Amino acid sequence: MQAVFDAVFFDFGGVILSSPFEAFAVYEQRAGLPPDAVRTINATNADHNAWARFERSEIGIDEFVAAFEAESRDLGYDLSGADVLACLDGELRAEMVDVVRKCSEHYTTALLTNNVISMESTERFVDVLSYFDVIVESSKVGVRKPQDEFYEMACALAGVEPEGVVFLDDLGVNLKPARAMGMTTIKVGADYRIAIAELEHHLGISLR
């Protein structure tokens, strides 16, 4: 029997926007760093490191750069915090944007993003943001994925129960608590079209 869903929740970077991890890899190679150096730094003391505090707007850009570079040195890396931030400027995936638009015609849609600067300040995102009924940004609400409060807030704002939600994210650590709450989760990999097909299967409609 086909499950009935009320809402589709989307992550941004790595789902609608190209993955920052691809840009990190290019930067690491250019800077002579070992693969996954940036991810290693961000995974160390993950809830309280510079990146986590920056995404919750607890520190500003200059404080982030200084703290992030200090954390990198503690782990034996020499990198530029400013250059790492520049890696967040990805490209919109036109096919995924169209999926969001089509979902918005049938379901409540929400954007759940850990970010450092409000989406509304970026002009090139205006069109895609218009397809969302609810936007939850860590930089605004002071909590971030994978904290339970983030998902609870999203469901409350969208007026839905977790069991009625399909949620797409590129990180398993962000999907785990959502799944534990009752959401149906889809991990978006390098070939994001596989995730689109999985979403079509769950919703029982064509999105392409």
The neighbour count for residue 121, using CB atoms within 10 Å, is: 7
Instruction: Please report the pLDDT score of residue 124 as a whole number.
Output: 85
- Tell me the whole-structure pTM to 2 decimals: 0.91
What's residue 118's pLDDT?
Answer: 80
Residue ranges of domains in the chain, CATH in brackets: 7-18+91-203 (3.40.50.1000), 20-86 (1.10.150)
DSSP assignments along 3-37, one per residue: ---SEEEE-SBTTTBPPHHHHHHHHHHHTTPPTTH
**pLDDT tens, position by position, 160-187:** 999 999 999 999 999 999 999 999 999 9
Residue 123's pLDDT is 83
Phi/psi class of residue 191: alpha, beta or left (left: φ > 0; alpha: ψ in -120 to 50)? Answer: beta
Low-confidence residues of the chain, pLDDT below 50? none
Kindly report the backbone phi and psi dihedral angles of residue 92, in degrees, each rounded to the nearest multiple of 5, phi listed first: -65, 140
Whole-angstrom CA distances from 7 to 43, 71, 125 are 30, 39, 21
CA distances (Å), 77 to each of 5, 25, 34, 51, 123, in order?
45, 14, 9, 16, 34
Type of residue numbered 144: R
Residue 155 contacts residue 43 (beta carbons within 8 Å):
no
User: How high does pLDDT run on average in the chain?
Assistant: 95
204: DSSP letter: T
DSSP 108: E
pLDDT given for residue 2 in this prediction = 66
pLDDT of residue 122: 78
